Amino acid sequence: MCEKCFKKEHENFPSSKDFEEFQSDFDQLDETNFQHVRNGNFKFYYNEFECENCNEIWWISKPDNGWRGYCLKKDNAIAYIQKLQKQDQNARIACILLVLFVLIFIVCKL
């Protein structure tokens, strides 16, 4: 990792204090080094930045209510969001199976 990039990746910011600390670290980095590329929305809203020193692309998503945000390299951010989507999908399937099970139980009792 280059010395002008973020020191580490964050899969989330557990508390608002964690995000404030991250923001103050971001402010201390050489602002001219990070080029804001674009805003995007991939399940959640994010800002895309490019490090001018090493050309690494970073996605930063701010925490918002239940969403805890992240600061990840682009490829890792995409993999992370896909993992979250898969977990959501599995939870939905488990919920449907539970409802089906309860319905079958009720029908069998009648």
Q: Which residues bind Zn ion (CB under 5 A)?
A: 2, 4-5, 51, 53-54, 56
Q: Which of 69, 42, 74, 38 is nearest to 59 (CA)?
A: 74
Least distance to Zn ion from the beta carbon of 5, Å?
3
In the bound state, the residue with its beta carbon closest to Zn ion is: 51
> Which residue, 15 or 53, has its beta carbon nearer to Zn ion?
53
Which tokens hold the place of 3?
Answer: 């010395």
Least distance to Zn ion from the beta carbon of 104, Å?
56
> Which residue, 54 or 97, has its beta carbon nearer to Zn ion?
54
> Which residue, 4 or 62, has its beta carbon nearer to Zn ion?
4
Least distance to Zn ion from the beta carbon of 59, Å?
14
Instruction: Please enumerate in sequence order all residues whose Cβ is within 8 A of that of 62, keeping only pairs 6 or more positions apart, or say none.
Output: 19, 45, 69
Angle at alpha carbon of residue 49, lines to 45 and 53, rounded to 5°: 165
Which tokens hold the place of 84?
Answer: 């979250």
